[in-house]
Structure 1
Amino acid sequence: MQTIQDVMTRDVQSISPQETIQRAAQMMDELNVGSIPVLDGRKLVGMITDRDITVRATAAGQAPGSTRVGDVMSTDVRTCSPNQSVDEVLGQMGDVQIRRVPVVDAQSQEVVGIVSMGDMATKHSGGIERALEEVSSPSKPDRSAPESQTRH
C-alpha cells in the first residue's frame, strides 16, 4: 500500500496571512503552482489559491497590493498525514472537490509536504480517474452572485 509520504512534494513554500495577495500571486507564478499554504509562524491557518485571489478579491474590486492573504484565504483546510494511504486521501479529495492537500505531521502539527492530484497521477495509478471526475464536476459558487446578475 502506497502512503502519502511516497508521493507528496516535500519542499513546500508557504506565505504569511499578513502578506499581500499580490505577493501570493507572484509566488504562485514563480513556483508554477495554484495554491500556497498559509502559515502563522509554523501553524497552518489556511490555503490561498489562485481562485481565492480571483473570486474573493479581484472580482470584488479589492486592490492586490493592499489586500491581505488572511482576508481572502480558505480557512477550512483539509489536511492529511504522511502515513495515510494514497487511496484514502484520493477518495477524500474527490468527495470535497479539492486538488491539493497539505500534509501535516501528527506529532509536531507542522506542514511537512503537500500532495496534489498531479502527484497522485504521476506516482500512483489506482483510483485517480474517479477522483478527478469528482473534483472536476461543477460545484456551486462559494458566494452568491450580485443582485444585478440574479435579476432578468
Structure 2
Amino acid sequence: MKSVKQLLHSNPSRLLVSVTPDATVIQALNTMNDHNIGSVVVMDDDKLIGIFTERDYIRNVVLKGLDPINTRIGDLPMGKVCYVTPEYTLDEVMALMTEKRIRHVPVLDHEQKVIAIVSIGDLVKSIIDEQTFEIEQLVRYITG
C-alpha cells in the first residue's frame, strides 16, 4: 500500500492553501473557491491552528446565523486537528478519516510543520489508479 509520502511525490505541484485566524469567513471561502478545494488550513505564522472546511461553514456560520463578511475564522470553534505524517499508509489515513468522519487531513513533517493536506478524493483517486494498474497487469498476464 502506498504511503502519504508517495502520494505527495506523485503530485509535486500540490499547493498548500492556508488562511490566518484574522481572515474573514468570506475570504476563506473565496480562497477555497479560487483553488477549487473544500478546505484550508488555518495557520498563525508556521503554527497549525486548525482547518476550515465547507462543512464548518455550514455548521458554524450558516446554521448559527453568523455574517460571513464580518466573522473571523479565529472566532469559530476549532477542535483538535487530526493530522498524519508522510509515513502513514493510505489505508491508515482512510481509517482515520472514517473513524473521525473527516474528509481532509493535514500532513505534518517531523518538525510539526504543515507540508500538505490530503483529501478523501486524493485517496480514492490513488486507490482507483492502483487498482486500474493491477487489473491491466493481470489482463496482460492472462492474455499473454
Bin the TM-score by the shorter chain.
Answer: 0.7 to 0.9
| Distance (Å, rounded) in 1 between the aligned partners of 2:89 and 2:69 | 40
TM-score by length of 2: 0.80
Unaligned segments of structure 2, at least 5 residues: 130-144
| Distance (Å, rounded) in 1 between the aligned partners of 2:122 and 2:45 | 27
RMSD: 1.7
Compute the displacement of 1:113 (Å).
Answer: 0.8
Q: Which residue pairs with 2:122 in the alignment?
A: 119
| Distance (Å, rounded) in 2 between the aligned partners of 1:72 and 1:16 | 12
SS of structure 2 residue aligned to 1:60: coil
Deviations 1:77-134 (A, max 9, x none): 100001111111111111111111100001x2111111111111111249xxxxxxxx
Q: Which residue pairs with 1:3 in the alignment?
A: 3
Larger radius of gyration: 2
Matches within 5 A, 1:38-77: 38-77=42-81
Greater helix content: 2
Deviations 1:34-83 (A, max 9, x none): 11110010111101111212221122221111100012253311000011
TM-score by length of 1: 0.76
**Percent identity (aligned):** 34
